[in-house]
Amino acid sequence: MKRKILGICAVLLGACLLLTACSGGGSGGGGQATNTITPGVSGEVEGNMHSYSMKETGKYIVQGGKSDYTILIPEGKASNDYISQAVSDLRQFFFESTGIELPVEEDGGDLSGGKYLAIGDTRLQSNEALGATYDVLGRGGVRIRTVGDSVCMTGATDEAAMYAVYVFLEQALGFEYYYTDFYDLDKGVTELALMDYDITDVPDFEYRIQSTGWVRYNDRNRKRMRWTNETDLFIPADRASATWHNTFVYLPPTKYNKPADTANYHPKWYSVRGDQLCYTARGDSEERALMIKNIADQIIDLFQDEAYLNYNLISVSIEDNQNCCTCETCTAEKEKYGADSAVIVKFCNDIAKQVTAWMETDAGKPYARDYKILFFAYHATNKPPVTYDAATDTFTRADDSVVCDEHVGVYFAETNGDYTQNYEDAGTANTEIGQNMRGWATLTDQIYFWSYSTNFTNFLMPYNSFDAVQDIYKFALKNGCHYIMTQDQWVQTESQSGFGVFKNWLHSKLGWNVNVNVEELTDQFFASYFGAASEPMRKLFDEWRVWAKYQTDELGYSGYRSVYINALTETYWPQRMLTHWLDLIDQAYAAIAPLQTSDPALYEALSEHINIESISFRYLLLQLYGTNYSDADLQAMRRSFVSDVQKIGLTRMNASNTIAADVFVGWGM
């Protein structure tokens, strides 16, 4: 995608600049944008196994519009969350494609001579016999193998077995899921060959969390797009929702930092400012030991909770601010190790030692597991306790006390970065951040990565993370990340504008395989998601992408904390450019108009997709240039906008405010 976009850069940017020349908003100058992003900088990187072998057998699953096949599942698994979803979707999509309703059978009976589409660890062929073990596939890896006349679809977990069904549907019936209830699928299939499948596909990131609301809060979307369920991973410190920024959940200041309560008064547990913990307890070793025991005991209690017996991740993570303790002891530790994070690593290491020791006792052995305690490398703690030598491009540490315990992991997150840029190009807001991730990789072999991909100040503002996202994912994988979460518009529960639907579908592909061909995926998405309107919508996307680079390279929509930039300015969005893009939207509607009579359902779906992408540009036009229209025209445009936003289900301007409160009220609507 990057090579293609950059290849047409001069032509499209010239057109864009010409459009802005007479604009009331102005563009801030002319000329071609300077490319500050090195396309494909990471090249091909080593990921996990993505091996696909499919050979003809001369046999058929469907022949002459009929099938002798049965869906087979392990005995007692019919109500399992993942297996039941896999069965439901396999039956639904198989029926939509072939008109055949497949029966379902548990594997408790005689299986000899049967023809099965087997899901999970069945008696037909065990996971061990198929090589579908956790050591080989991890949590989410897929194994598909033809055994006799049957196809076994499985993984080391029930979740992975569900993923295997979607991989089978992709290969056999052309299934591809793009958006809520919108997907590709071969139709009218009367002949479906039984292939000799030998597929092993292991995601490059074992845990893949997407925090856009229309995936996060839609269980079906999340499963079909093969995202990991975040709530299945992390034990909340409060047994409710405190998975992050939870140190004050473990040690609440309201309980331990109140002078009147002398029995529980531990002021040394808190930073000088009082908005974080002091991980050295102001140098008081007895007080620090009490802190560690208190938190370790709570974690031990949580590990014994029946609700969390299958969970292995928990965090002890700083409060959500950019401060650290500045007491004499913490300052000395920072000077020694070169980073505020040193005291946190040591603190979590000591907690882990106590938890591990308990798991080795008779009482703890029933609850023993390969667990991780995560802490945030975030803001002031993003820098690792190592020293970087630019001349040799190497990292050194003062001593081994800051190496992460085998049961301690770093959760690397930095909103101060710039996600329009990658992590390797020098001279960007990410230069130090990328260096920090490399430094952490010398202290642990597992990094958990929290990335970002939207404008958090204004969700209706397009944010061009497309140029950088593949390289950022590759960079993370090269540096030992096996978990990735890309924070997007997590409270926007139905959709998002600014090409956010495409963005999140693309993230799902990159999280599984960082080396996918993004240019081909872009072609595929636009052809399917916009159908007959793909040409004008792709033209709009390409032109916006080129202009977005001009915004970042020349106009300042980039740099430190770019995800919080207030981009609602005429300089960034010239009027004539916006009206041109909305003309392309009109062309898109015209392109699908014949479907109103020939395929009304498809027309409604494609019309919604076009409408979603119109919202950002209509919003910009109304907010920046509304006074250029007559009162009657402006009111009509506003009424149409309100109606469409409500129809789509867009509700949020940002995490704190609604579109209704921030926009509609100001319009008197």
pLDDT exceeds 60 at position 22: no
User: Residue 560: pLDDT above 60?
Assistant: yes
Of all residues in the chain, the percent with pLDDT exceeding 70 is: 94
One-letter amino acid at 319 equals E
Contact 410, 436 (CB under 8 A): no
Give the integer Cα–Cα distance in Å for 654 and 658.
7
> Bridge partners of 658?
652
Note whether 480 and 446 are within 8 A (CB). Answer: yes
**Mean pLDDT across the stretch 247-263?**
91
Place of tokens 């392309």: 584
Residues of the chain within CATH 3.30.379.10 domain(s) are 50-202
**Is the per-residue pLDDT at 54 higher than 60?**
yes
pLDDT in tens, 464-519: 999 999 999 999 999 999 999 999 999 999 999 999 999 999 999 999 999 999 99
Distance (Å, whole) CA 545 – CA 279: 45
Is the per-residue pLDDT at 205 higher than 80? yes
Assigned architecture for domain 50-202: 2-Layer Sandwich (3.30)
**pLDDT at residue 667 greater than cutoff 70:** yes
Res 230: pLDDT: 86
Cα separation of 238 and 533, whole Å?
A: 49
Assess contact for 275 and 319: CB atoms under 8 A: yes
Kind of pairing between the strands at 387-389 and 394-396? antiparallel
Taking the CA atoms of residue 641, residue 646, residue 648 and residue 651 in that order, the dihedral angle to the nearest 10 degrees is 100
Asked if the model's pLDDT at residue 62 lies above 60, the reply is yes
pLDDT level of residue 15 (50, 70, 90 thresholds): low
Kindly report which listed range (9-23, 350-364, 417-431, 568-582) carries the lowest average pLDDT score.
Answer: 9-23
Query: What number is the average pLDDT over the span 81-107?
Result: 98
Q: Which helix (H) or strand (E) holds 580?
A: helix 575-592
Q: What is the pLDDT of residue 2?
A: 35
CB 615 within 8 A of CB 645: yes
- Averaged pLDDT score across all residues of the chain: 93
**Residue 542 or 39, more confident:** 542
pLDDT at 6: 41
Residue 42: the pLDDT is 73
Residue pLDDT, tens place only, 178-195 = 999 999 999 999 999 999
Kindly state the tokens that stand for 475. Answer: 């960079």
Residue 417 has pLDDT above 50, yes or no: yes
* CA proximity to 591, closest of 538, 637, 541: 538
Instruction: State the pLDDT confidence band at 12, using cuts at 50, 70 and 90.
Output: low
Reported confidence tier of residue 5, pLDDT bands at 50, 70, 90: very low
Q: Which tokens sit at 159?
A: 């979740």
Region for residue 138 given its phi and psi (left: phi exceeds 0; alpha: psi -120 to 50; beta: otherwise):
left
- Residue 133 burial (C-beta neighbours within 10 Å; 0-12, 13-18, 19+): middle
Give the model confidence (pLDDT) of 522-546 as tens digits.
999 999 999 999 999 999 999 999 9
Q: pLDDT-based confidence at 3, cuts 50/70/90?
A: very low
Extract the runs of DSSP E, i.e. beta strands, from 356-512.
Answer: 372-378, 387-389, 394-396, 408-413, 447-452, 481-487
Residues across the chain? 669
Residue 20 predicted with pLDDT over 70? no
Q: For position 14, what pLDDT does the model report?
A: 61
Task: State mean pLDDT over 328-337.
Answer: 98
Going by C-alpha positions, the residue among 375, 450, 377 that lies closest to residue 208 is 450
Nearest to 168 by CA among 151, 181, 149, 185: 151
- pLDDT of 34 reads 31
Query: If residue 635 lies in a helix (H) or strand (E), which one and from where to where?
Result: helix 631-648
Residue 70: Cβ within 10 Å count: 16
Q: Tell me: the pLDDT tens digits for 274-296?
A: 999 999 999 999 999 999 999 99
Contact 51, 607 (CB under 8 A): no
Q: What's residue 226's pLDDT?
A: 97
